[in-house]
Structure 1
Amino acid sequence: MADKKSKKVLIIGGHGRVALIATPKLIAAGHDVTSVIRNPNHVSDIEAIGATPLVRDIIGLEVETWEQRLTQYDVVIWAAGHGDRDSVEGTYAVDRDAALTSLEAMRNLLARGEHVPRYLMVSFLGSLNLQVDPEDSFYAYAESKKQVDRELLAAEDLDGLILAPGQLTMDDSPGGGTLLDPENESPWERKTSRYLVAEVITEMVGREELPEKKVLAFTDGKTPPSEF
């Protein structure tokens, strides 16, 4: 394992907006970042912010391939998302199936006594309990996240954390946040800057230990992430 100030980090979904903001912060903190991207046209964008691009389509990636990749890192950040809410099939393929396969790989590594990285899942506030109308375009994403987050919570031996921000914005960082109860909050009533999410990611990557609770729900506020 790398020491506290220098970790090997793998960001899955490296060209997403949160990942593109978090990557320079992680590098500035002394970490070595590899970004998994699907589109080879995005390689130059990743290189421009100081990370190593890894062009790979995570859809259909086999468990064994995940195992070989994940064990090379100290921290894995799941920031991937299909994005196109009109493509239900694609949403399930990325946000549910690919994520679940990565978790299966983590459990396999743990069972064999191999190196298992820390796992940070970027999710959303209320993911574990939110009820969405099946006719709503948000349904496939919400159901995917619910299943994956519950799976991560059930894997008690994994060093994992679910980041649960409110509705994401591109507002400037408020300089801090407010911790919330993930059981009693709606994602529609709270807003969270993507810049704050990136700061929280950087804080959690660098920590010796993660918070005791495996769901970190937060919105914009005044408490610095170092106190989360």
Structure 2
Amino acid sequence: MRIAIIGGHGQIALQLTRLLSERGNVVQAVIRNPAHAGDVEAVGGQPVVLDLEGPGADELAAALSGVDAVVFAAGAGPGSGVERKYTVDRDGSVRLAEAAEKAGVRRFLQISTMGAGRPAAGGDEQWVAYIDAKTQAENDLRARDLEWTILRPGRLTNESATGKVLLAESVAAGSVPRADVAAVLAELLITGNAAGRVLELISGDTPVEAAVAAIAD
């Protein structure tokens, strides 16, 4: 497969690129900063320099030519301010979904977060905006005629992959290594499972392949 990952220099995105490349897939990693191209290439990806906040759907669609699936892994990041939570986490996803439709790319994976889908329970102004932006992005994607899957990981850690997760439509609050999130995304892409599903993810006892296979049952 040829897969485009938007937000290709993020920690999950880089690990996902490596996993997909090792399995013989071609990964186009869309990045904003040309200085990050070397990091993408080091994990087997093909860097594509494009600012998600700049181009319209037509330009993004051109960048998706020949792609079989897209992954929205972009995010404004901590300390970016309320406005960019909406211009990146919400509007970036909407723009990418429009581009996928124009380019005829059916498979769309969106990395969201646990807590999306309902008003933020506490937190500062940026956290409330982040949850709201992710919720609006989810709502937009769910209304589209795409083979979408929304993945809501719990609190992200930089621990080594365990290879074991809890993946379901609803799970208790918890944490999960970024490496395991990448492994689940890779398996969802390879299998095509869970189209039209919103899934939550934390560390657990089930091997990644079995957890993703169970979602299809």
1:199 aligned partner: 183
C-alpha distance after superposition, 1:192-226 (max 9, x if no partner) = 1101101001101111x322551121110121222
TM-score where L is the length of structure 2: 0.89
Secondary structure in structure 2 of the residue aligned to 1:85: coil
Q: Find 2:125's aligned residue among 122, 125, 136.
A: 136
Paired with 1:172 and 1:31, the residues of 2 have a C-alpha distance of: 23
**Aligned partner letter, 1:163:** L
Q: Find 1:126's aligned residue among 101, 115, 118.
A: 115
Secondary structure in structure 2 of the residue aligned to 1:137: helix
- Cα pair 2:142 2:196 within 8 Å, conserved: no
- Cα pair 1:61 1:98 within 8 Å, conserved: no
**1:15, CA displacement in angstroms?**
0.6
1:160 aligns with 2:148: yes
- Cα pair 1:163 1:217 within 8 Å, conserved: yes
1:60 aligns with 2:54: yes
**Aligned partner letter, 2:137:** V
1:40 aligned partner: 34
Q: Find 2:44's aligned residue among 40, 47, 50.
A: 50
2:200 aligned partner: 217
CA gap 1:128/1:94 in 2 versus in 1, 3 angstroms: same
**1:149, CA displacement in angstroms?**
0.5
**1:96, CA displacement in angstroms?**
1.2
**1:67, CA displacement in angstroms?**
2.1
Structure 1 unaligned blocks of 5 or more:
1-6
Secondary structure in structure 1 of the residue aligned to 2:90: helix
Paired with 1:135 and 1:225, the residues of 2 have a C-alpha distance of: 34
- Cα pair 1:132 1:138 within 8 Å, conserved: no
Paired with 1:224 and 1:176, the residues of 2 have a C-alpha distance of: 4
**Aligned partner letter, 2:186:** T
**1:35, CA displacement in angstroms?**
0.5
Write out the 4+ residue segments of structure 1 that deviate beyond 6 Å after TM superposition: none
C-alpha distance after superposition, 1:15-55 (max 9, x if no partner) = 10101111111111110011111111111111111111111
Q: More deviation in 28-37 or 216-225?
A: 216-225
**1:133, CA displacement in angstroms?**
5.0
TM-score where L is the length of structure 1: 0.85
Percentage of pairs with the same residue:
35
**1:86, CA displacement in angstroms?**
4.2
2:72 aligned partner: 78
Structure number with the higher helix fraction is 2
**1:69, CA displacement in angstroms?**
2.2
- Cα pair 2:147 2:195 within 8 Å, conserved: no
The one of the two structures with greater contact order (alpha-carbon pairs below 8 A, sep at least 6) is 1
2:215 aligned partner: none
**1:132, CA displacement in angstroms?**
4.5
CA gap 1:135/1:198 in 2 versus in 1, 3 angstroms: closer
Paired with 1:78 and 1:212, the residues of 2 have a C-alpha distance of: 15
Paired with 1:212 and 1:224, the residues of 2 have a C-alpha distance of: 20
**1:134, CA displacement in angstroms?**
8.0
Paired with 2:34 and 2:65, the residues of 1 have a C-alpha distance of: 24
1:169 aligns with 2:157: yes
